[in-house]
Chain A
Amino acid sequence: QLHLQESGPGLVKPSDTLSLTCTVSGGSISSHIFYWGWVRQPPGKGLEWIGTIYYSGSTYFNPSLRSRVTMSVDPPNNQFSLKLNSVTAADTAVYYCARHDYADGNWFDPWGQGTLVIVSS
């Protein structure tokens, strides 16, 4: 059964870079079918798609975040990562990683449990 787990600092200073890693177990990140995505949820608010990456390194980003986001994939370690630079308090959120069926049905399943990142000095 596929399982995803986010990891990274829970506290980031304003103007710094937020860095998170998602470790995939129970399946290969090098799947030719699926992609891998990041979604965030500010406290008490709705979900926002951040971006998606394919095992080859191809990336797709939310236009509103594109200028600040980079994503990478590490197939040998079955991990993919997110970096969001120049963060502000508005980037405080629970960040989820998920498998993304981007090429076909455009759905996310399964999801990691999420990790809360607070932007504060």
Chain B
Amino acid sequence: QSALTQPPSASGSRGQSVTISCTGTSSDVGSYNYVSWYQQHPGKAPKLLIYEISKRPSGVPDRFSGSKSGSTASLTVSGLQAEDEADYYCTSYAGRNNPVLFGGGTTLTVL
């Protein structure tokens, strides 16, 4: 099964908002609410940002929000800050035979 599709890059100015998309199919993103997002700074382990489409773990700023429409999930980062510059990955449940699909990742640049 193919990975979820994310744009390779995204950018925004400090204080602005940016949205990163994660496109799947009716077999994964479109069928389940188990979409999560991870932030990864260079040389560091990924960090959970969003789970179950729009829930935030304790400690994650509310500047990060998630949503889903059809087979596309989205991560929105509001009030961009310099430390938001990182790689972002989405994942989705895709059924019992392949429970975890990752997106290819998006590099976010804060201008």
- Within the assembled complex, what's the spacing in Å between the Cα atoms of A101 and B38? 14
- The residue on B at minimum CB distance from A51 is B100
Which of these, B47, B52, B102, contacts A105 with CB under 8 Å?
B52
Q: Contact partner of B98 among A62, A102, A105, A113, CB < 8 A?
A: A62
A residues less than 8 Å from B97 (CB atoms): 63
Q: Is B3 in contact with A46, judged by CB distance below 8 angstroms?
A: yes
List the B side residues contacting A111 at CB < 8 Å: 45-47
Q: B48 an interface residue at 8 Å Cβ cutoff?
A: yes
Residues in chain A within 8 A of chain B (CB atoms): 37, 39, 46-49, 52, 60, 62-63, 96, 101-102, 105-114
B residues contacting A by CB (< 8 A) are 1, 3, 34, 36, 38, 44-48, 51-52, 55, 57, 89, 91-93, 97-105
List of 3 A-B pairs having minimum Cβ-Cβ separation, nearest first: A49-B100, A109-B48, A106-B34
